[in-house]
């Protein structure tokens, strides 16, 4: 366990050098590109009656919930209960943000074993009943590092938790804060590409365990460039926006670049625009060590990132996902091992990554990530001892 928990890191000595990146806030997204902030909570679930509140971004709006009794049966309820504290604190104009869902306005609620309540505007989960025997009564955050998310990992875990959330990076900060601060459940799963240092104090205060799966930085750069090329296609607009709202702005700079032309590719990386650098420049180090979405990590940045890794409860390598899941199971004190999840590499991604390895312009962009990954790999997958 000691080797996995990063207690034996020998910190890398790195000379200070000019920051090569010009970073935009929140991974390159303007604040208005987020969904609308939303706060919520559930006071009680008494079977035939559920009481809670939902505060929308617009303080003049009356929020609406959608009660999903089963996959085919949904009921919309507008808030109608006055919550004086929300008005007194200036959070809502009228304070009418509360709701009561019972047999009178939601027939069948008492018998709905798999009931879900979601926000009527953006479909964020507000409450879910979970009565299965395999429920995990712990709080776990999987810090996503990939632009193309490891959905298979989430799918394997998400059904075991009462309150599951994915893609936190697409939610407003206040909504994410509401999720981490949920007071009515100890069974919470979340995943997202968010800044560790921004959220670490709240996560620790709320008792979350945190895990991260690390990937070869050249493979991640390869996949990001291939995604950008795909996002530059007109027919990819809607799907690209769902993956990351700012993706198409970056994709515009790669639309006319032939990625199979090594000269053109190296020129693109050497003269990367601010938007492209935001997506490609040491994303792992920034995610782990940047103090917020606007400022760079403290120097030496790789050492700061390794400090952050040492604080996480479960760290693994993408090419050894089974060991990572074993550690997650131990951290969550699960009685049975978690099932294996295949995260096989794409031949296209790995082949393109091999081309990038030979390009100095590519290496400069992820130099700090490479140092962190090499040290992590030394700890997590030490070379076998030489035979006598």
Q: Are residues 362 and 250 in the same domain?
A: yes
**Domain end marker among 109, 129, 149:** 129
The confidence band for 222, taking pLDDT boundaries of 50, 70 and 90, is very high
pLDDT at residue 346 greater than cutoff 80 = yes
| Confidence tier at 62 by pLDDT (50, 70, 90) | very high
The domain boundary, picked from 85, 103, 129, lies at 129
Nearest to 97 by CA among 175, 39, 178, 171: 39
* pLDDT (0 to 100) of residue 299: 94
Mean pLDDT, rounded, for 336-348: 87
Q: Does 257 fall in a domain?
A: yes
Q: Which element (helix H / strand E) includes 77? A: strand 73-78
Q: Where are the alpha helices (DSSP H) in 168-298?
A: 173-180, 196-205, 217-231, 237-243, 247-251, 262-270, 274-280, 283-289
In a domain, 165, yes or no: no
Closest CA to 103 of 112, 113, 94: 112
Q: Give ∠ CA 133-139-142 in degrees, rounded to 5.
A: 110
Distance (Å, whole) CA 143 – CA 126: 21
- Domain check: are 227 and 123 in the same one? no
pLDDT score of 47 more than 50: yes
User: Does residue 45 sit within a domain?
Assistant: yes
Residue 95 located in a structural domain: yes
Omega before residue 300 within 30° of 0, cis: yes
Q: Which of 246-250, 318-322, 351-355 is predicted with the least confidence, judged by mean pLDDT? A: 246-250
387, pLDDT greater than 60 = no
Given a cut of 60, whether residue 32 has pLDDT beyond it is no
Q: In a 3-state reduction of DSSP, which class is residue 119?
A: strand
238 and 335 housed in the same domain: yes
Task: Identify the domain containing residue 342 by its residue range.
Answer: 217-380
Same domain, yes or no: 231 and 342? yes
Q: What is the pLDDT of residue 71?
A: 87
Q: What is the pTM of this model?
A: 0.86
Question: What pLDDT is stored for residue 21 in this prediction?
Answer: 33
Q: Could you tell me the CATH number of the domain that includes residue 114? A: 2.60.40
For residues 234 and 96, state if they share a domain. Answer: no
The reported pLDDT for the residue numbered 99 is 97
Q: Are both 226 and 373 inside the same structural domain? A: yes
Does residue 31 have a pLDDT over 90? no
Residues 111 and 221 in one domain: no
Domain end residue (candidates: 65, 96, 129):
129
Per-residue pLDDT tens over the stretch 297-336: 999 999 999 999 999 999 999 999 999 999 999 999 999 9
pLDDT reported for residue 11: 24
* 345 is a domain residue: yes
Say whether pLDDT at 123 is over 50.
yes
Residue 30 inside a domain? The answer is: no
Looking at the structure, do residues 125 and 231 belong to the same domain, yes or no? no
The residue-averaged pLDDT of 156-170 equals 93
324's tokens: 């990572």
Return mean pLDDT, the chain: 86
Measured CA to CA, the distance from residue 168 to residue 261 in angstroms comes to 36
Averaged pLDDT, 163-175 = 93
Separation of alpha carbons 268 and 270, rounded Å? 6
The answer to whether 225 and 268 are in contact (CB under 8 A) is: no
Judge whether residue 34 has pLDDT over 70: no
Domain count, the chain: 2
């Amino acid at each position: 366990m000691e080797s996995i928990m990063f207690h034996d890191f020998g910190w890398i000595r790195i000379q200070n050098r000019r920051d090569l990146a010009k970073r935009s806030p929140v991974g390159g997204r303007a604040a208005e590109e987020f969904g609308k902030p939303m706060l919520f909570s559930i006071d009680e679930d008494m079977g035939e009656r559920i009481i809670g509140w939902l505060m929308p971004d617009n303080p003049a709006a009356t929020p609406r919930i959608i009660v999903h009794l089963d996959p085919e049966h949904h009921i919309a309820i507008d808030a109608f209960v006055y919550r004086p504290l929300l008005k007194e604190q200036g959070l809502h104009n009228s304070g009418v943000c509360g709701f009561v869902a019972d047999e009178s306005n939601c027939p069948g609620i008492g018998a709905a074993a798999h009931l879900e309540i979601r926000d009527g505007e953006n479909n964020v989960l507000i409450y879910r009943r979970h009565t299965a025997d395999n429920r995990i009564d712990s709080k776990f955050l999987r810090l996503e590092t990939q632009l193309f998310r490891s959905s298979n990992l989430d799918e394997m875990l998400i059904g075991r938790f009462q309150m599951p959330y994915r893609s936190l990076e697409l939610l407003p900060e206040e909504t994410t804060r509401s999720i981490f601060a949920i007071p009515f459940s100890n069974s919470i799963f979340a995943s997202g590409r968010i800044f560790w240092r921004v959220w670490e104090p709240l996560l620790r205060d709320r008792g979350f365990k945190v895990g991260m799966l690390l990937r070869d930085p050249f493979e991640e750069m390869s996949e990001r460039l291939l995604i950008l090329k795909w996002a530059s296609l007109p027919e990819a607009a809607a799907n690209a926006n769902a993956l990351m709202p700012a993706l198409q702005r970056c994709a515009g700079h790669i639309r006319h670049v032939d990625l199979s032309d090594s000269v053109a590719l190296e020129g693109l990386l050497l003269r990367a625009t601010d938007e492209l650098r935001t997506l490609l420049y040491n994303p792992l180090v920034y995610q782990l060590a940047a103090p917020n979405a606007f400022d760079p990590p403290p120097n030496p940045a790789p050492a700061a990132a390794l400090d952050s890794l040492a604080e996480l409860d479960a760290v693994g390598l993408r090419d050894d996902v089974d060991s990572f899941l074993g550690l997650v199971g131990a951290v969550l004190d699960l009685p049975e091992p978690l099932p294996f999840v295949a995260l096989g590499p794409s031949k296209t991604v790995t082949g393109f990554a091999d081309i990038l390895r030979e390009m100095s312009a590519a290496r400069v962009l992820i130099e700090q990530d490479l140092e962190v990954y090499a040290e992590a790999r030394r700890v997590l997958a030490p070379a076998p001892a030489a035979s006598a």
